[in-house]
Amino acid sequence: MRHARLALALVVIALPLAAQQPPSFRGATVTTIRASGDLRRQITSLGNPNETVWAGYNVPVIGAHHVEICCSSHCGTCALEGENTNITYVEGDELATSVALLYRIRDHEITKIRPFSSCAVEASGARIYWIEGVEQTASVNMLAAMAKGDDSAGKRAVFALSLHAGGTDALIDLAHHAERSKVRSEALFWLAQSAAEKAGRALRDAVDNDPDDEVRGKAVFAISQLPADQSIPLLADLMRNHRSKTVRKKAAFWLGQTNDPRALEAIEGYLRQ
């Protein structure tokens, strides 16, 4: 089972199709508007000076994943202004394939991003603008631009991209080209959680070519978070063949943590050389 950050827990369950609907807002004043023009400009234009408002919309989930996102492992009512985020990858044919992304706006700046799926959201009197008709590309482009920022909203934007259909290429671009090493590391981690087919190649490229030793180490760890059929061959190859002794040691360590017979066989074979 893959691990995650931001107090995230990963389990496998089944969800009803109703989870595709927007969250049930409690104690909120909700105004429905249509997407118009530049998405970020539209969102940050909402509200008045010194007022905090929220804006949100649904996005399709990346690849074949189905997810449940709430504030705890047992969905109930979550506080809009809360911090914990619990993400559950689920399996089945008739399940939630979309999540709601909610943005907090203060003085025309996005200060927080929260994803939700089927749980109710206690808004405590907040004003929420629900935006219909948001194009997938517009959402991905906005999040990718935000992800480069040095703030908590930027970090959450990387996480949001890992959930977002169409977000894989943006994560790969951040992993390769983001100026800040922290952004590259975050992108690599969430690439592994997305389990997209392109993730393995991007992670291996980071191990080989990223100029930062810490980022390369995190890329090895991220590889260990891929599904076993992807991670074990990649880690075994790194352990046997990579030019960096540090990378070889990290690959061997993470292989040893998998408790998979194929990993043990690879380690034993390497030690017999």
Q: Band of the pLDDT at 91, cuts 50, 70, 90?
A: low
Task: Compute φ and ψ for 183, nearest 5 degrees.
Answer: -65, -45
Q: Band of the pLDDT at 2, cuts 50, 70, 90?
A: very low
Residue 250 pLDDT:
93
Beta-carbon contacts of residue 132 (< 8 Å; ≥ 6 apart):
32, 33, 34, 35, 57
Q: What is the mean pLDDT of residues 37-46?
A: 96
Report the distance separating Cα 53 and Cα 75, nearest Å: 24
pLDDT digits (tens, 9 = 90+) for 92-129: 544 557 889 999 999 999 999 998 876 788 899 999 99
Of all residues in the chain, the percent with pLDDT exceeding 90 is 51
pLDDT digits (tens, 9 = 90+) for 142-187: 999 999 987 888 889 999 998 888 898 999 999 999 999 999 999 9
Domain boundaries, the chain: 1-134, 198-273
Report the distance separating Cα 58 and Cα 21, nearest Å: 8
DSSP 155-195: HHHHHHHHHBTT-HHHHHHHHHH-SSHHHHHHHHHHHHHHT
pLDDT digits (tens, 9 = 90+) for 194-228: 766 678 889 999 999 999 999 999 999 999 988 88
273 is written with which tokens?
């050389």
Record the pTM: 0.80
Task: Compute φ and ψ for 153, nearest 5 degrees.
Answer: -65, -35
- On whether the CB atoms of residues 239 and 255 are closer than 8 A, the answer is yes
